[in-house]
Each structure stands twice: as C-alpha cells, then as structure tokens.
C-alpha cells in the first residue's frame, strides 16, 4: 500500500455544499441582550469564576481562570451585569458551569486592555503568556489551549508551523472567509506562532477548491521569508492534523504520537487571526466567525458572533429553521455534534451551526454488513473498520486496541460510505472510551 506522492491514502468526496455561504462576506451579529459563557470551552481544567452575581463586567474582561497549565481563561463578550452562575447545557453534551451576563447595551470595552508592544520586541515567553491571557484555543473545533501547543518540551524541537486552511468539513466556510478577508492577520499570527516556537518555516495549507483563498494568501505571504502557501487536493479529511502534515511535508506522525514528534505544530487559520488580534490590539477571544448553514436554515451566512450567544438566537437572526429541518449540528456534518435543541451557547470551538433536512442526511436504518470493504478503502488511518466494528460489537476491546482502534481520528469516512448504514464511527468512539476507561483503572 504505497502512499500517494503528496496526498494521503483513503478519504472521501462528500457533497461540499460550500456554495451556500462561500461567497457571503462575514457580517457581525448584533450584540445579544444576554450571553451564557461556559467556564469550560477547551480541553483541560475548567475555569473558576472571577466574578460574582451582580458584578458589572466590561467586554473583554477576564471572568474565569484556572491555575492549571492546560486550561484557558474565558472573557466577557458583552458589557453588563452578571445575572447568574450555574450549570448550562454545552454543545459537548454535558451541562457545565456558565456565567450568564445581561448586556447593558453599551458594549464598553475593558479599559485595562492595552495593546502589547510590537511583535519584534516580544520574547517567546511573552507571546505564550499573551496568547494564554487572551484565552485562545484551537478554533478548528478541537479547542486545545493554544499556548500549550506553543510550549513543546525541550527534546522536541519544532522547525515547522502548519496553518490549517483546508476546511475540508463540508458546508463550513468560516475559515475560507477569514482567509479572503483577513489574510494579513493570518500571516501575522503565523509569524507570531513561529517566533514563539523558534520555527523557521511556516506553511499555510489550503484545499484547491478555494482558489481565491490560495491567490489572496500567496499575495499576503510575498516578502515573508520561510512562509509558503501549499495547495492541497480537495479530499476529506484533508484538514485532519496527521493528513495535513503528510500532505504538506510527507512527514508521518507515528501511531500514538503528536505532530511535535516530527517537528511540527499545527494551528487553524482562525486561531492565527485570534493570535494576531491578541498581539496587535490586546483583544481577548470573545467573538468568533461561525458559518450558519445547511438546507434547514432560511438564510445561510457567515457571522461574527460573540461567545455565549445562544444558538437559538443565532438561528432566529438567520431567518429561523425551515419546516423540514431534522438535525441541528454544532460543527459540520462529518464531525459535528448533533444537538437536541438550540438552547446552547456558541463557544470558542463552534465553527459552524449546520441545520440539516432529511433529504440531505439520507437517514437509514442499519442492516447487516456485507463486507464490501469500502470502509477499509477510505480509512485515512489505514485501519480495518469492518473488523474493528465486529470486535466492538462483541465487546472485545483489547483486540480492538491491538488493531489500533486508538488511532481512529473519528473522521467519519467509514460510516459515510457504508452501504449498510452501520454506525461505524460511533462504535469506535465507544471502543476508544472503553479502552481509555480500562487504562485509568
């Protein structure tokens, strides 16, 4: 099984439906009357609230923080009064502690926020501290605190930073619009990340279905030594970390390893914009670009939304959901999380709000596997989903682990192609959770 020259093995070509929003410029959603800001919007330790009910807060004021290294503070996204602190349902499924702020309508920015010195004068440590203070996490959806990725151990030198502009997830266009509208900030953010890591090379990888973004960014990186823009074949999951590294550099992240094992740190282009805003203006991460899309939304669009805005209000602003809407997904249709209702806040990791109709989804009942082997053909990780699914069905998790179920990146390609409509990706989530659970014991 030879790997393609500059691509990766497997993958699928779903209907992208990017045309719904690709040509629509980012517009700012009006400041909401109330926001609900979860104290856990990242992978790591949850924040402790820094404010109490009744306190007045400014836009950008830090309202939650943790002492743990793997964590990121949260900031108020409107100015106003703290109305409540308590559990609120989160798009990840569970309810988490959240701070509800009622806006005073003045949208006053925290006067203590100041622009830091220019990038040339900042040390790597200062860059990391500013990024942490700004509450920046991976905006592609993984929500890993950005400063952690910028602090690799001394024995893992980083020579390359890859910005992910693949946006391989169908329907979503938030990154595409950012690349078109904020190319300078993306390049600035990349330079800051490279400086923090001491990396000499930067690559911006963009799928070749976004030719305009490729052109704009190629212009933007002119005159920036060490930085280049790479055109990637359009194939899902091109934006998955390991696939992106393979496709741009031919380096292969070892099984169970991290990009830093091959000298690479990945960040999303949206994260680079947030880094640029933090370092240029001292602006914390309190708003983000979200693609609101799908056949079930009356007016699909790309919106700049304050963190904590309730999804139901976002959908109302987009003309509401249509009669035949069946599914509400936070993120895109391949990896996004389905929600029972829209009473959840937009968080740092919310890259898209996708409302799907029955027609778009092809909801079908699972029937027995006919061993067609399509899942084996498409698995970008080189796994054998058909066998892993059997092992999971029989609760043989140890054997599933031996067959590298922990390598599964949950991209969904196997379940996407399965003619028997088997919930393969769901099986592997279950198997992975079981294996992890046993390890903890």
37 backbone dihedrals φ, ψ, rounded to 5°: -110, 105
Burial grade of 257 (CB within 10 A; 0-12, 13-18, 19 or more): exposed
Tell me the two tokens of residue 423.
């919930």
217 backbone dihedrals φ, ψ, rounded to 5°: -75, -30
Which residue, 195 or 422, is less far from other proteins as judged by CB? 422
Beta strands at 201-207 and 160-165: parallel, antiparallel or unpaired: parallel
Owner of token pair 């196997």: 414
Which residue, 79 or 266, is less far from other proteins as judged by CB? 266
Residue 407: CB minimum distance to other proteins, A:
6
Residue 292: CB minimum distance to other proteins, A:
13
Residue 316: CB minimum distance to other proteins, A:
6
Residue 416: CB minimum distance to other proteins, A:
5
Rounded distance between C-alpha atoms, residue 248 and residue 232, angstroms:
8
Which residue, 148 or 321, is less far from other proteins as judged by CB? 321
Which residue, 219 or 255, is less far from other proteins as judged by CB? 255
Residue 340: CB minimum distance to other proteins, A:
5
Residue 353: CB minimum distance to other proteins, A:
12
For residue 286, give the nearest of 302, 273, 274 by alpha carbon: 274
Residue 163: CB minimum distance to other proteins, A:
22
Which residue, 19 or 316, is less far from other proteins as judged by CB? 316
Residue 118: CB minimum distance to other proteins, A:
40
Residue 198: CB minimum distance to other proteins, A:
25
Which residue, 54 or 340, is less far from other proteins as judged by CB? 340
Which residue, 133 or 360, is less far from other proteins as judged by CB? 360
Which residue, 201 or 387, is less far from other proteins as judged by CB? 387
For residue 163, give the nearest of 186, 143, 137 by alpha carbon: 186
Which residue, 50 or 298, is less far from other proteins as judged by CB? 298
Residue 236: CB minimum distance to other proteins, A:
10
Which residue, 106 or 343, is less far from other proteins as judged by CB? 343
Burial grade of 283 (CB within 10 A; 0-12, 13-18, 19 or more): buried
Task: Check: CB of residue 74 under 8 Å from CB of residue 41.
Answer: yes
């Amino acid at each position: 099984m030879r790997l393609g020259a500059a691509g990766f093995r497997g993958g699928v070509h779903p209907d992208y439906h990017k045309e719904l929003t690709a040509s629509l410029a980012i517009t700012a959603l009006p400041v909401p009357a109330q926001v609900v800001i979860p104290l856990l919007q990242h992978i790591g330790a949850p924040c402790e609230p820094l404010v109490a009910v009744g306190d007045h807060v400014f836009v950008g004021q830090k309202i939650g923080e943790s002492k743990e290294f793997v964590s990121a503070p949260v900031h108020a996204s409107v100015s106003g009064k703290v109305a409540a602190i308590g559990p609120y349902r989160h798009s990840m499924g569970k309810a988490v502690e959240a701070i509800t702020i009622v806006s005073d309508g003045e949208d006053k920015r925290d006067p203590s926020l100041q622009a830091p010195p220019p990038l040339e004068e900042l040390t790597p440590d200062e860059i990391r501290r500013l990024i942490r203070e700004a509450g920046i996490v991976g905006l592609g959806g993984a929500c890993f605190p950005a400063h952690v990725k910028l602090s690799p151990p001394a024995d893992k030198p980083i020579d390359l930073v890859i910005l992910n502009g693949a946006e391989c997830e169908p329907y979503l266009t938030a990154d595409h619009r950012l690349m078109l509208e904020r190319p300078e900030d993306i390049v600035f953010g990349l330079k800051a990340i490279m400086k923090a890591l001491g990396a000499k090379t930067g690559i911006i990888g963009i799928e070749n279905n976004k030719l305009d973004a490729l052109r704009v960014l190629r212009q933007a990186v002119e005159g920036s030594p060490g930085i280049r823009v790479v055109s990637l074949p359009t194939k899902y999951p091109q934006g998955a970390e390991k696939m992106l590294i393979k496709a741009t550099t031919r380096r292969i992240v070892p099984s169970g390893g991290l990009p830093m094992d091959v000298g690479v740190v990945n960040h999303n282009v949206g994260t680079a914009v947030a880094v640029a805003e933090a370092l240029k203006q001292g602006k914390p991460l309190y708003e983000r670009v979200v693609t609101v899309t799908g056949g079930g939304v009356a007016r699909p669009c790309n919106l700049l939304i304050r963190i904590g805005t309730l999804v139901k209000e976002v959908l109302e602003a987009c003309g509401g959901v249509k009669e035949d809407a069946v599914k509400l997904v936070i993120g895109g249709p391949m990896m996004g999380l389905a929600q029972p209702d829209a009473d959840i806040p937009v968080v740092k990791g919310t890259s898209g709000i996708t409302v799907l109709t029955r027609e778009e989804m092809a909801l079908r009942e699972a029937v027995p596997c006919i061993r067609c082997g399509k899942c084996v053909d498409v698995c970008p990780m080189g796994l054998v989903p058909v066998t892993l699914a059997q092992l999971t069905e029989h609760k043989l998790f140890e054997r599933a682990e031996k067959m590298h179920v922990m390598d599964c990146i949950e991209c969904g390609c196997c379940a996407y192609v399965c003619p028997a409509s088997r919930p393969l990706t769901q099986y592997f989530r279950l198997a992975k959770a079981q294996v992890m659970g046993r390890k903890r014991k």
